[in-house]
Structure 1
Amino acid sequence: MTTISDTLTPRRLTSAAWALRIQFFVSGALFATWGVHVPTVKAHYGLGEQSLAIAMLASGVGALLALTQAGRVVARFGPRGVAGLTGVLCAAGVSMLIAPSVYLGLVLLLMLFGATASLFDVAINAEATEIEHLAGRPLMSGFHAMFSLGGMVGAGVGSLLPLLGWTPQTHLLVACGTGMVMILGACGAMLKMKTDAGESQPLSLPRGVLALIGTLAALGLIAEGAMYDWSVLFMKQERASDASLSALGYASFSLAMALGRFGGDWVRARVAPVPLMVASGLLAAAGMATALLVPVASAGLLGFGLVGLGLSNVVPVLFSAASKVPGVSAAHGIAAVSSLGYLGMMAGPPLIGMIAEHTSLTAGLSCVVLFALFMAASAQRALGGTARPTAPAAAD
């Protein structure tokens, strides 16, 4: 772990925490901007679901390649430096999604997006872990809530601007340009950490119960990634919604997830990990089933919202469990599980797209129901050894 190299005061720590919240917000907004424009990209390049899925897979390949070096890169340059560079490159890649006229250009841009987004994610989560440690109280759910809030705002803006006559390219340029300014501005207030060029953190695969926890994280983030990449297209293609209403499908998911995460620390202090994971999986499965089986747009919005609420605390619960696996350091446990989880988030949507190409998008998204049910069924085995946290007396 890197160490703080600048003067740390309560005010400095608060400033760094708010800067990091901005970074999480922008990260969520960039994912939403891509998600809102999946139908735009599909139409611009004249793609079927399988070709679109292959392009999305390039994003997963870029993420995987970057994750193998993420530990070394963050150790060498520090979270602040990595977040600044990769955040700007990620925004630049999204802004040019429909600039090329050839399919290869899209594939290369999505590979850039996957690589830079994964490095940006590792950098800001490394900073979040350090800030939470220094603050001495739970903060992680709140940071991730800002990612969801950014997704909601990004999707909401994407829903509104077509009504105002904005073209997709104008929206991409303005949204991503604003994101770049926010990223660079927030970097100035992030903690400055001493770097270690010799530190090595290669990607490692978990084993035993850690592998099961990582698998659950991957399944949860596949479901989350499916909402990012396919919810808007589902509303437009399967429910015949216009562009503005379709974008609200993503917004409803992100709003519910943000609300669940803002209250996540309070809930986790009062509900044991196993029943919380069971309830989360069942709620997400019920929401996805509602969206898929009830053929009206309003049911889709409601269902996506329930999926967001169900998935909101999956990652905090699993990361906490990974940090307590016997014989494994907290840092290694979280790193191993997050690697599998992030890979699932990037690789899952292309898998759903390939299923959709040969059947339907409804059939592809039904995987989310199965994955959520598996999370609920496996909760006891994966998390049974996790002790229930005790709520502070003052909170009662």
Structure 2
Amino acid sequence: MTSVSARMRWASRAQFFGSGFIFATWGVHIPTVKIHYGVDEAALGLAMLAAGVGALLGLTQASRWIGRHGARGTAGLCGAIYALLLAGLLAMPSYGALLGLLAVFGVLTGVFDVAINTEAAQLELRNGHPMMSGMHGMFSLGGMAGAVTGGAALAAGMTPQSHLTLVAATMALSIALSSRWMLPKEATTFTSTGDGFRLPHGALAILGVLAALGLIAEGAIYDWSVLYLKQELGSPQQQAALAYASFSAAMAATRFAGDAMRARFSPALLLRGSAWLAAASMTLVLLADEPWLALIGFAGVGAGFANVVPILFAASARVPGVEPARGIAAVSAAAYLGFMAGPPVIGFLAQVSSLTAALYVVVAFAAALAASARYANPA
């Protein structure tokens, strides 16, 4: 069995950081995209749905690609192209062309996400102690950095297109280079690769549903928090970007402490407490009439959701009779469907009611996670 070197750990962390940074950059520019193409919330939700459909198509092939090429090759190629597509978000000739770009964006995002989580699960198993929370902490740290630098770039007068192009080039290079030091191909290939995508069943299905609930709520914050602060509370876009930054910063800090928490508390207890914190904090956001109070609430939501995915992904790698890599890929796929489905659902609900009312979905799903936390205990 390949030992886990410091270089391998940092390579995986770089992949998660890059994923968070890219996603934050998209989140910061959602209001820009809305204005640039002259669309309303429903059309913006449809654009996010296009990315979700693309992710679904990618997820049907993610296990096959990883099984054939390993997490390293899959993450390096898909992640670099995924980053480069950022540069096209404001360069499409029409709204219809944007939908096509976001569909491809979704395909690559889904495959990249499964690949890096498969890598992280294998590193944790080989290392012999919790590592998954720390890896996801790097995603949140990347999200915080992407949001802060995005807001700073806009405040400094950098054009949105220049900012997107700079981030695209930098992240593509970082992901491509760091993938060279991930686990070798044979460490993350499956013993059988011909099955393609199969929906999880049994214990994996339960874990997948719970992860999807968490990521529907988390995805809603990533994609709608900036617009919420700008549109519902009247904040300028530079200040509104802090909604994403406060959420990601709190999530990162909690995830970096999460491995120690996972070693001390049972998965069910930690998941239950985390979910109730997220529900209470999101309620504060939606009842607040001052931006600073909403920012505190977004931080609480980030802390609450921080360990949901690491707990559930780690559990999926320990399901009896299932290869760890296939288990994490299956639950990642189900969870990612939730991650991509959440934002467009919020968009359509916002169109028929209001963005504030639509975001109560986050409260409801966090409460559902708390009520179902017992299923997170290892078999």
Which one of 32, 53, 56 corresponds to residue 61 of structure 1?
53
| Residues 292 and 300, structure 1, Cα contact 8 Å, conserved in 2 | yes
Report SS of the residue matched to 2:90. Answer: coil
How big is the shift at 1:301?
0.7
Q: Please report how far the alpha carbon of residue 170 of structure 1 lies from its aligned counterpart in structure 2 after TM superposition.
A: 0.8
Q: Which of 248, 273, 276 is residue 270 of structure 2 equivalent to?
A: 276
- Contact 2:278 2:303 (8 Å CA) reproduced: yes
Q: Does 1:122 align with 2:114?
A: yes
Do the aligned residues in 2 keep the contact of 1:221 with 1:345 (CA within 8 Å)? yes
Moved more, 58-67 or 125-134: 125-134
**Percent identity of the aligned residues?**
52
- Note if 1:220 corresponds to 2:214: yes
**2: CA distance between counterparts of 1:273 and 1:24?**
22
Name the SS for the 1:47 alignment partner.
coil
Helix, strand or coil: the match of 1:269? Answer: helix
| 1:36 alignment partner in structure 2 | 28
Match 2:297 to one of 297, 303, 315: 303
**What is the CA–CA distance in structure 2 between the aligned matches of 1:45 and 1:362, rounded to whole Å?**
23
8 Å contact from structure 2 (residues 75, 116) kept in 1: yes
Question: What are the within-5 Å matches in structure 2 for residues 227-238 of structure 1?
Answer: 227-238=221-232
| Corresponding position: 1:89 with 2:57 | no
- When Rg is computed on C-alpha atoms for both structures, the one with the higher figure is 1
Aligned to 2:288, which of 256, 276, 294?
Answer: 294
Taking the aligned partners of 2:378 and 2:190, their CA distance within structure 1 comes to 33
Residues 1:320 and 2:338 aligned together:
no
Match of 1:173 in 2: 165
1:207-226 deviation digits (Å, cap 9, x = unpaired): 34433322111010011101
Paired with 1:187 and 1:335, the residues of 2 have a C-alpha distance of: 18
Q: 1:357 to 1:369 in 2, by over 3 A?
A: same
One-letter amino acid matched to 1:51: A
Equivalent residue runs for 1:1-396 within 5 Å: 13-194=5-186, 199-325=193-319, 328-380=322-374, 382-383=375-376, 386=378
Q: CA deviation at 1:331?
A: 4.2
* Count of residue pairs the alignment pairs up: 377
Tell me how far 1:329 sits from its aligned partner: 5.0
Amino acid at match of 1:144: H
* Number of the residue aligned with 1:391: none
Contact 1:292 1:362 in 2 (8 A): yes
Please tell me whether the aligned partners of residues 76 and 198 of structure 1 are also in contact (alpha carbons under 8 angstroms): no
Aligned residue type for 2:216: I
Is residue 70–residue 201 contact of structure 1 (8 Å, CA) maintained in 2?
no
Shift of residue 321 of structure 1?
A: 3.1
Q: 1:390 corresponds to which residue?
A: none
Structure 2: how far apart are the matches of 1:126 and 1:180?
Answer: 20
